[in-house]
C-alpha cells in the first residue's frame, strides 16, 4: 500500500519511546483473550486502521495510534510479525492466473487509502464492479484475502488444497474375514477405542524408556478390554471384542511420529546428542582459523603415582584440551590434579601463550616451532561448558582480550564435537604404551581388571606423554576433514598445523596475540593470604621477599596483629606468589618460600596440599595414642601425688609456713648430699689403695694441706660409699655443710678443720 498523502493540517506522528511498543504496517496484534488484529495502515494524523482476523468476515476499523501504543505498553496486546496461514512454496499456472486476475481488479482500490473507510468503500467497490464486470461479492472477497494475508500479492493465490470435502476421519472397515474363521475382526471406534489406545501409549510407553509396545498392548487389554467372572478373576475379552495388536500399532503410527517417540522416551537432550539428524557439521560454523576455540575437560584414563613415593597411587589426573574448530589444531592443554573448574581451565588458557620451547625442554620433549603455530594467539570466541565458562571468573577473558565467551547447553557434547573427539584421539594414541591406562569399557565389565596396580607414571611424566601426543596430532593427516577446493589447489594437505598456516595467510585477520606475562596478570587465580610474623601465609606455606621485610610488614604483624592481603599464584608451582599492595594497586611483590618451608620447593600447590593431607592424617592417627599417654601420665602422677600430699599434711601438722622454710638452705644442701650418694653410687668401684694408705699414714695434719685435686678425689670416694642406715646429721656436720657452701670447699675439708673427724674412716662411720 502506498503511503498516505500529507496535508497541511496534519500533525507530527507520535513515536513511542520504546520501539518494541510501536506497531508498524502488517504487524499482528494478539490480545490476552486470543483475539488477533492486523495493522493495515498508520496515518500521519494519529489514526491506525486494523482488521480483526478472529472473525471470519470483518471490515477495517480505526483507532488512535497513541491509545494502541499505550495498550501495548500495558501488555494488553503483543506484537508479532508472523503471517496468517502458510503461503504455498509453489503454485500452478492456473493459480498464478487467478492471482494476477484478482490483483488487476483490486489494485486501483488498495492504492487509495479511502478504501479503508466504510463511508467511501461501498461506492468505490460498486464503481469498480461496473468497470470490471465482476460482482461486489467477488471484489470484497479479494479485498479480504489481500488484507488478511499481509497486503501482498501472494495473499491472492487461491488455496486449492483446502477446496473440496474434508478428509474422512474415523477407522477403516473390518475387512475380510481371517482364514479359518477362528475369530472375528474387531471394528475400531474412533471416538472410544482410539483415545483409549492413545492414553495407554502416553501412560505406559512414552513415559519410560524400558517398556515395549507389546507390554503396553497387554496393559491396555488388561485395563480396558477385560472382564471379571463370577469368582472375581480377571480375563481378557475374546477376539472380535477387543483390538488386535496390528490395530494397536496402526493407531500408534498414525498418532505419534518417530521423532516424538524418541524425544518422549529418551529425552530432548539425549535425542539431540544421539538420535538427531546430522545435516551440517560444526566445521561450517567456523569462518576461519582462530574464530572459535573449543575448551573442555575430562578425567584421563591413566592412574598416576606420587612424585616422591611411587608406591602411593594418587588417582587419575584432569585433562583440559583447547582445539581450534576450523583447523582441528590443539592450541592449549592442562594436565594436573585439580578438579575440572575455572582454576584448571585458566591453566589451559595460559598454556596458549606459554613458552613452548622451555616447556618442552623441561619435560624432555623435542621442540619444533612449527608444531605450535598458534603461540599466544587468542580467538574471537571461546566455547565451553556451563561450568567454568559460565562462572564470573570467565569474565576476565572478555576484559582486555577482545574475546567472547559462549556456553553450550548442558549434556550437549555434539555442540563442541572437535574437543570431544580430541579426547578420544589423545587416549587412543597413548593407550598401548602407557602403564596404568584404564580403558573406559573396563568400568562396565563384570569383574574388570584392576589397572591401578600397574600405575607407574608421575604427573610430570604424564604431562610429557600428553605433549608428545598433541604434537603427533598436529602433524597427522585427517582423512575425513572437509577441506575446501581452494586449499587443495594451493597444495595444503589436511594437517592441522598446515591448515592453520595456510588459512592464517589467506583467510584469517581477526586474531590477537598476547604475551604470557599479560595473560598471567589477567588470568592468574587470586586468593587472600595472611600477613603474620613468620611471613605471608598461604596454603600452609610462608612466603617473604626483601621489599616486604624493608617495609616492616612482618614486624608490624608481630606487634599490631595479622591482616589479609590479595595475592595471585600459579597452581602448578608453589615456590612463589605475587602479593598485591592494598594501598597501591599498581604495586605488587613476588615472594618466595621462607627457609622453614623450603621442603616444599618444586611442588605444585596440589602436591603440597596432598603432603599436608598425609601429614594431618598421620597426626590424627596418633591423636588417640597421645591421648592415652596423657591419661596414663595423669594416673601415675595421681598415684604419686596423693600419698605424698597426705604424708606431707601429716608431717607439717601444727607447723607454720615460715617455720617450714626457716632452714631451707641447709635442708636443701643436706638433701642434695643425700641425693649425690644415691645418684653417684657405683658398687663395683673401690677407693684406690695408694690413696687410702697415704691418708692413714699422714694423719690429720697432712690432710689439711691436701691440694684441691686430691680433696676432690677424696670427695668422690666419700660420696660413693653408701651407709647401710640413714644418718641423722649432727650440728657439726650441718655447720660444715654450710661453711663448705660458703667457701666453695668440700664438706670433708671443713670437718677436718673443725676437728670433727681425724681421718677418712671416721668420716665413713659418720655416713
Q: How many residues does the chain have?
A: 767
More confident position, 82 or 210: 210
Whether 703 is covered by a domain: the verdict is: yes
Residue 149 shares a structural domain with residue 206: no
Pair (311, 438) in one structural domain: yes
Does residue 642 lie within any of the structural domains?
A: no
Q: And the C-alpha cell for 27? A: 504487524
Q: What does the DSSP 8-state code read for residue 64?
A: E
Q: In this predicted structure, what is the pLDDT of residue 180?
A: 66
Nearest CA among 493, 470, 494 for reference residue 366? 470
Q: What does the alpha-carbon distance between residue 598 and residue 602 come to, in Å, rounded to a whole number?
A: 9
Domain count, the chain: 6
Question: pLDDT digits over 81-134, tens only?
Answer: 655 555 555 678 888 899 999 999 999 999 998 999 999 999 999 999 999 999
Lowest mean pLDDT among 127-136, 218-227, 420-429, 443-452: 443-452
* CA distances from residue 17 to 66, 75, 92, 498 in whole angstroms, order as listed: 11, 15, 46, 54
Enclosing H/E stretch for 427: helix 417-430
Cα-Cα-Cα-Cα dihedral of 55, 61, 65, 71, to 10°? Answer: -30
Q: In the prediction, which pLDDT does 537 show?
A: 96
Contact criterion met (CB below 8 Å) for 478 and 328: yes
Q: Is 161 exposed, middle or buried (0-12, 13-18, 19+ CB in 10 A)?
A: exposed
Whether 732 has a pLDDT exceeding 70, the answer reads no
Please, which pLDDT band fits residue 759 given cuts at 50, 70 and 90? low
* Residues 382, 327 share a domain: yes
Beta bridge partners of 578: 568, 590
Mean pLDDT of 203-224: 93
Per residue in 538-555, pLDDT (tens digit) is 999 999 999 999 999 999
Domain limits for position 740: 663-766
Q: State the cell numbers at 78.
A: 503483543
- Mean pLDDT, the chain, integer: 83
Residue 556 lies in a domain: yes
Report d(CA 240, CA 225) in Å as an integer: 11
Task: Name which of 461, 429, 423, 428 is nearest 303 in CA terms.
Answer: 461
Please report whether residue 637 resides in a domain.
no
Both 758 and 713 in one domain: the answer is: yes
Q: What is the pLDDT of residue 31?
A: 87
What residues form DSSP beta bridges with 526? 568
Regarding whether 140 and 33 lie in a shared domain, the answer is: no
- 483-504 pLDDT, tens digit per residue, is 989 999 999 999 999 999 999 8
Domain of residue 393, CATH code: 3.30.420.10
Same-domain status, 534 and 594: yes
Q: Distance between CA atoms of 80 and 99, rounded to whole angstroms?
A: 26
Q: Which residue has the cell 631451707?
A: 664
Chain-centroid distance, C-alpha 478: 32
Q: Which long-range contacts (CB under 8 A, 24 or more apart) does 39-46 make?
A: 40/1, 40/116, 40/147, 40/151, 41/1, 41/4, 41/113, 41/116, 42/13, 43/4, 43/113, 44/4, 44/6, 44/10, 44/11, 44/12, 44/13, 45/10, 45/11, 46/11, 46/13, 46/14
Q: At what angle do helices 747-754 and 731-743 cross, to 10 degrees?
A: 120
Q: Does the predicted model carry a pTM greater than 0.95?
A: no
Give 267 or 17, the one with higher predicted confidence. Answer: 267
Q: Are residues 144 and 216 in the same domain?
A: no
Residues 442 and 565 in one domain: no
Does residue 46 fall inside a structural domain?
Answer: yes
Q: How far is CA 605 from CA 527, 577, 595, in A?
A: 13, 11, 17
Name residue 336's beta-bridge partners.
318
Confidence of residue 683 (pLDDT cuts 50, 70, 90): low
Are the C-beta atoms of residues 581 and 591 closer than 8 Å to each other?
no
Q: State the average pLDDT over residues 269-283.
A: 78
- Would you say residue 745 has pLDDT above 80? no
Amino acid at each position: 500500500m502506498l503511503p498516505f498523502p500529507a496535508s497541511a493540517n496534519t500533525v507530527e506522528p507520535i513515536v513511542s519511546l520504546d520501539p518494541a511498543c510501536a506497531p508498524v504496517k502488517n504487524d499482528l496484534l494478539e490480545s490476552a483473550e486470543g483475539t488477533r488484529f492486523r495493522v493495515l495502515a498508520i496515518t500521519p494524523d494519529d489514526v491506525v486502521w486494523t482488521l480483526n482476523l478472529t472473525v471470519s468476515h470483518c471490515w477495517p476499523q480505526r483507532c488512535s495510534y497513541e491509545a494502541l501504543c499505550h495498550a501495548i505498553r500495558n501488555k494488553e496486546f503483543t506484537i508479532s510479525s508472523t503471517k496468517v496461514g502458510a503461503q504455498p512454496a509453489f503454485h500452478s499456472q492456473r493459480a498464478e492466473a487467478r492471482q494476477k486476475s484478482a490483483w488487476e481488479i483490486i489494485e486501483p482500490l488498495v492504492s487509495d487509502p479511502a478504501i479503508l473507510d466504510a463511508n467511501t468503500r461501498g461506492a468505490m467497490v460498486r464503481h469498480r464492479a461496473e468497470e470490471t464486470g465482476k460482482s461486489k461479492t467477488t471484489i470484497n472477497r479479494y479485498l479480504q484475502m489481500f488484507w488478511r494475508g499481509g497486503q501482498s500479492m501472494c495473499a491472492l493465490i487461491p488455496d486449492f488444497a483446502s477446496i473440496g470435502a474434508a478428509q474422512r476421519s474415523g477407522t477403516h472397515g473390518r475387512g475380510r474375514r481371517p482364514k479359518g474363521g477362528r475369530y472375528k475382526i474387531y471394528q475400531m471406534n474412533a471416538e472410544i477405542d482410539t483415545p483409549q489406545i492413545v492414553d495407554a501409549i502416553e501412560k505406559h510407553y512414552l513415559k519410560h524408556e524400558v517398556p515395549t509396545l507389546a507390554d503396553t498392548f497387554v496393559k491396555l487389554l488388561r485395563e480396558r478390554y477385560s472382564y471379571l467372572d463370577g469368582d472375581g478373576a480377571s480375563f481378557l475379552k475374546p477376539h472380535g471384542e477387543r483390538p488386535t495388536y496390528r490395530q494397536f500399532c496402526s493407531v500408534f503410527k498414525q498418532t505419534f511420529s518417530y521423532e516424538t517417540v524418541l524425544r518422549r522416551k529418551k529425552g530432548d537432550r539425549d535425542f539431540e546428542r544421539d538420535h538427531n539428524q546430522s545435516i551440517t557439521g560444526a566445521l561450517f560454523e567456523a569462518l576461519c582459523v582462530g574464530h572459535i576455540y573449543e575448551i573442555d575437560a575430562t578425567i584421563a584414563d591413566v592412574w598416576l603415582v606420587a612424585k616422591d613415593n611411587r608406591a602411593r597411587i594418587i588417582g587419575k589426573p584432569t585433562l583440559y584440551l583447547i582445539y581450534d574448530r576450523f583447523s582441528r589444531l590443539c592450541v592449549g592443554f592442562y594436565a594436573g590434579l585439580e578438579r575440572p573448574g575455572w582454576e584448571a581451565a585458566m591453566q589451559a588458557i595460559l598454556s596458549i601463550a606459554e613458552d613452548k620451547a622451555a616447556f618442552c625442554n623441561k619435560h624432555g620433549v623435542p621442540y619444533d616451532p612449527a608444531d605450535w603455530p598458534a603461540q599466544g594467539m587468542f580467538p574471537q570466541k571461546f566455547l565451553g561448558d556451563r561450568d567454568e565458562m559460565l562462572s564470573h571468573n570467565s569474565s576476565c577473558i572478555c576484559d582486555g582480550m577482545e574475546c567472547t565467551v559462549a556456553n553450550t547447553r548442558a549434556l550437549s557434547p555434539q555442540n563442541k564435537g572437535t574437543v570431544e573427539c580430541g579426547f578420544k584421539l589423545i587416549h587412543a594414541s597413548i593407550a598401548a604404551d602407557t602403564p596404568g591406562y584404564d580403558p573406559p569399557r573396563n568400568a562396565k565389565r563384570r569383574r574388570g581388571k584392576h589397572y591401578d596396580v600397574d600405575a607407574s607414571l608421575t604427573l610430570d611424566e604424564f604431562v610429557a606423554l600428553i605433549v608428545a601426543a598433541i604434537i603427533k596430532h598436529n602433524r597427522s593427516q585427517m582423512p575425513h576433514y572437509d577441506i575446501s577446493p581452494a586449499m587443495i589447489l594451493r597444495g595444503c594437505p589436511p594437517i592441522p598445523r598446515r591448515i592453520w598456516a595456510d588459512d592464517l595467510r589467506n583467510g584469517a585477520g581477526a586474531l590477537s596475540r598476547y604475551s604470557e606475562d599479560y595473560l598471567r596478570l589477567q588470568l592468574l587465580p587470586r586468593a587472600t593470604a595472611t600477613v603474620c610474623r613468620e611471613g605471608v601465609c598461604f596454603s600452609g606455606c610462608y612466603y617473604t621477599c626483601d621489599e616486604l621485610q624493608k617495609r616492616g610488614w612482618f614486624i608490624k604483624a608481630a606487634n599490631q596483629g595479622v591482616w589479609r592481603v590479595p595475592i595471585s599464584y600459579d597452581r602448578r608451582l608453589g615456590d612463589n606468589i605475587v602479593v598485591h599492595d592494598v594501598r597501591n594497586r599498581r604495586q605488587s611483590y613476588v615472594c618466595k618460600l621462607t627457609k622453614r618451608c623450603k621442603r616444599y620447593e618444586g611442588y605444585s600447590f596440589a602436591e603440597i596440599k596432598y603432603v599436608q593431607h598425609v601429614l594431618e592424617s598421620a597426626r590424627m592417627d596418633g591423636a588417640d595414642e597421645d591421648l592415652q599417654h596423657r591419661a596414663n601420665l595423669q594416673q601415675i602422677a595421681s598415684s604419686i601425688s596423693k600419698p605424698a600430699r597426705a604424708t606431707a599434711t601429716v608431717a607439717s601438722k601444727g607447723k607454720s609456713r615460715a617455720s617450714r622454710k626457716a632452714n631451707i638452705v641447709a635442708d636443701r644442701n643436706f638433701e642434695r648430699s643425700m641425693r649425690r650418694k644415691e645418684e653417684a653410687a657405683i658398687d663395683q668401684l673401690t677407693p684406690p689403695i695408694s690413696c687410702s694408705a697415704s691418708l692413714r699414714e699422714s694423719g690429720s695434719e697432712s690432710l689439711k694441706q691436701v691440694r684441691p685435686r686430691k680433696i676432690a678425689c677424696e670427695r668422690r670416694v666419700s660420696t660413693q660409699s653408701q651407709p647401710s642406715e640413714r644418718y641423722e646429721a649432727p650440728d657439726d656436720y650441718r655447720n660444715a655443710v654450710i661453711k663448705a657452701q660458703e667457701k666453695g670447699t668440700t664438706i670433708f675439708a671443713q670437718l677436718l678443720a673443725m676437728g670433727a673427724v681425724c681421718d677418712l674412716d671416721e668420716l665413713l662411720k659418720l655416713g
